[in-house]
Structure 1
Amino acid sequence: MSTDTDTENDATSGSNSCKAPDNDGEVAEEIAIVAFERKMETAEEIVEGIGDRYERIEILEYHGDVFAEHWGEYDCFVGLMASGIAMRKTAPLLDDKWDDPAICVVDEELTWAIPITGGHHGANQVADDLASMGAVPAMTTASEAADKQGVEKQAKALDAHVVNGDSTVATNLAVLDDELGPVERLDGPKAVLVGDDVTVLKRNEEDGIVLGTGSVSGARKEQFLAAWNRALEEAEREWTDVEFVATGTRKEEEEGLLEAAAEKGLGVISLTKADLERFEGPTPSRSKELIGWPGISEASAIAAGRDHELLVEKLSHEDSVTVAVGR
């Protein structure tokens, strides 16, 4: 994913995340696994496997009115049952796509994870989480079927939420037609007047930080994690303070980087050479001399940070990974 940024009118887009956006684009933190008594062992395995990705994950024993009794209490129901049962029991409860909880079903063998409703509002990402336990996520929403990133996923990668949910009908159609372009960033204070086909994203954190990172080709996941841990120690911050990871487009497919970000549940955004040139950092970089790119770690940390400020200058780990911290 590429981005377009400047001080007044920046753009950012991203990928990868482990937590799910709920019905208004925020992080879905409250999950209920609905299971028959004979499937409780599998339900407990799911809690053990992905429970640390949510604020609350609970197991409800199935009975005919269980969905109705708990409707509105959770961001997403995970039905450990046949899809037909979940469909029949939840269909009469559905009212509005922006307010209804998401529904995802999974079989007892954890072979398939199938979002039924609320794919863009939690079910797809819960299915992605279940994929880490071996289930195949069966996505049927248009953007996922076309292997494109809808605006809800872009918001999630940026640790942001969608302010005006109704607008995503138009903007996700534009994603499918390759007409949306990057997410534009507007630094305030400003007043903005938008139409029904403009999706507004707002960052979740007030003082979060961004890890800007670069690497040699083939750097391993463990090297990225070690570098990032060191940078957080220097910044005197915790993993919970990190909004996302930023890098340059020439590094956006680095397998080790993506694996490390996924392990920490972080989105990854990539910035173009032009983006980075506008926010070049203070530390000299050989990449500018050799290939004409500014130092990726500092420039991406500054460009993607909320205040375009560098909190920790470039650190190098094993001559393989560089990292800087922006805010």
Structure 2
Amino acid sequence: MMTDKNIAIIAFRRDEAKAGRLQQHLDADLLFYDEGVFEKALSYSAVVAIMAVGIAVRCVAPFLRDKWSDTPLVVVDSNLTFAISLVGGHHGANELALKLGEFGLVSVITTATEAHQRPSVERITKQLGARVVNRASTKSVNLALLKDDVPVVYLSGPKIVLVDDDVSVVEKKDLRGKFIVGIGAHRNINSDKVITSIMMALESAGVSIDDVSFFATAELKKGEPGIIGAAEHFAKPLVYVSHDVINMMNPPSASKAVRLGLVGVCEPSALAVAYKKTIVLPKQIYGDVTIAIAK
């Protein structure tokens, strides 16, 4: 993951004053252009090159391998007008270009999902604190995400999973300290009601939205616009938990979902994904919405 403490800025000496302004904004190291500067800069976690795009392309080309290992590179013109995400857009360059936008530059991002304001596998994976196992799949899945929402489905093991090449398999990392918001709602619920319910539940639990890893609900809620809208509002990934996994949980509250063959929705969904399998806030009923929080 890109960190501001590991950014290199490459600039010509004539642009030292302008580079210094960006250096302060990014808390970065400033390297002056010479024959071997790109090789040195690419050892950083991200690079900002203040120069023409053509120069940057010719300098970085010999070091490019693939998008998973290339160092994110943003090119900035010498007038500090544009911040162009050139290499590694989904792996830090887009984020860096947007950060430069906070400084007044125009962020230029050309990755298709971002250009169309759609999520990407890489961004969802980052939000989940996970890693992509079958990297080649992201091309197909990102193309699908351009057209429609693609569900995130959580499976707990032990299991053997056989998938097609248009299914991205992501493996979660350590979720200790992260909260999971489980959501249940009546069909065709308004997203504003779900958003308000989540905010009320977080306040009751004393949990900040920044400490929430993602939202979870039952697979039967797949495609429910109110829940999807709430996830988009808070910029949190939404995980659909399979019914088999839900029924393996032991939620503390009774649920009308037993009529659908489930032990519950909001509580078992949160429990299924949570690291400690501990309910922080038991099921709260807000009209047609139920919320539970687990850790």
Please state which band the TM-score falls in when normalised by the shorter chain. 0.5 to 0.7
Partner of 1:269: 237
The correspondence of residues 106-255 of structure 1 with structure 2, limited to 5 A, is 106-107=76-77, 111-178=81-148, 181-194=150-163, 196-212=165-181, 227=203, 230-231=206-207, 242=211, 244-246=213-215, 250=226, 253=229
Rg comparison, structure with higher value: 2
What's the CA shift string for 1:15-61, capped at 9, x where partnerless? xxxxxxxxxxxx2344323344222332233225xxxxxxxxx3132
Partner of 1:63: 33
Secondary structure of 1:32's aligned partner: strand
Partner of 1:32: 8
- Separation (CA, whole Å) in 1 of partners of 2:278 and 2:106: 40
Single out whichever of 149-158 and 106-115 deviates more from structure 2: 106-115
- Asked if the contact 1:148–1:175 (Cα under 8 Å) also holds between the matched residues in 2, the reply is yes
- Separation (CA, whole Å) in 2 of partners of 1:268 and 1:183: 12
- Separation (CA, whole Å) in 1 of partners of 2:205 and 2:75: 36
CA root-mean-square deviation = 4.5
Partner of 2:279: 311
- Separation (CA, whole Å) in 2 of partners of 1:225 and 1:108: 49
Q: In the alignment, residue 23 of structure 2 is paired with which amino acid?
A: E
What's the CA shift string for 1:156-189, capped at 9, x where partnerless? 22121212322222322333354x8312322112
- Separation (CA, whole Å) in 2 of partners of 1:111 and 1:304: 44
- Separation (CA, whole Å) in 2 of partners of 1:189 and 1:284: 27
Q: Could you tell me how far 1:115 is from its partner in structure 2?
A: 0.9
Structure 1 pair 149/217, CA: closer, same or farther in 2 (3 Å)?
closer
- Asked if the contact 2:175–2:274 (Cα under 8 Å) also holds between the matched residues in 1, the reply is no
- Asked if the contact 1:150–1:175 (Cα under 8 Å) also holds between the matched residues in 2, the reply is yes
Q: TM-score, normalised by structure 1?
A: 0.61
Q: Could you tell me how far 1:271 is from its partner in structure 2?
A: 6.0
Secondary structure of 1:268's aligned partner: coil
Q: In the alignment, residue 45 of structure 1 is paired with which amino acid?
A: Q
- Asked if the contact 1:171–1:197 (Cα under 8 Å) also holds between the matched residues in 2, the reply is yes
Single out whichever of 295-304 and 155-164 deviates more from structure 2: 295-304
Secondary structure of 2:279's aligned partner: strand
Structure 1 pair 162/116, CA: closer, same or farther in 2 (3 Å)?
same
Secondary structure of 1:128's aligned partner: helix
Partner of 2:74: 104
Secondary structure of 2:69's aligned partner: coil
Q: Could you tell me how far 1:254 is from its partner in structure 2?
A: 5.8
- Asked if the contact 1:161–1:203 (Cα under 8 Å) also holds between the matched residues in 2, the reply is yes
What's the CA shift string for 1:256-295, capped at 9, x where partnerless? 963xxxxxxxx512467998x988965699xx9xxxxxx9
Q: Could you tell me how far 1:62 is from its partner in structure 2?
A: 2.4
- Asked if the contact 2:152–2:240 (Cα under 8 Å) also holds between the matched residues in 1, the reply is no
What's the CA shift string for 1:183-210, capped at 9, x where partnerless? 2322112233445443221112253422
What's the CA shift string for 1:193-251, capped at 9, x where partnerless? 445443221112253422428886886xxx7898388237xxxxxx7xx4614277526
Q: In the alignment, residue 102 of structure 1 is paired with which amino acid?
A: P
Structure 1 pair 324/118, CA: closer, same or farther in 2 (3 Å)?
same
- Asked if the contact 2:19–2:30 (Cα under 8 Å) also holds between the matched residues in 1, the reply is no
- Separation (CA, whole Å) in 2 of partners of 1:251 and 1:41: 45
What's the CA shift string for 1:296-317, capped at 9, x where partnerless? 975764354346x34311599x
- Asked if the contact 1:231–1:312 (Cα under 8 Å) also holds between the matched residues in 2, the reply is no
- Separation (CA, whole Å) in 2 of partners of 1:129 and 1:225: 31
Structure 1 pair 43/273, CA: closer, same or farther in 2 (3 Å)?
same
- Asked if the contact 1:81–1:106 (Cα under 8 Å) also holds between the matched residues in 2, the reply is yes
- Separation (CA, whole Å) in 1 of partners of 2:152 and 2:170: 9
- Separation (CA, whole Å) in 1 of partners of 2:270 and 2:195: 21
Q: Which runs of 5+ in 2 are unaligned?
A: 184-191, 218-224, 258-263, 285-289
Among candidates 24, 43, 60, match of residue 90 of structure 1: 60
Single out whichever of 152-161 and 89-98 deviates more from structure 2: 89-98
- Asked if the contact 2:8–2:48 (Cα under 8 Å) also holds between the matched residues in 1, the reply is yes
Q: TM-score, normalised by structure 2?
A: 0.67
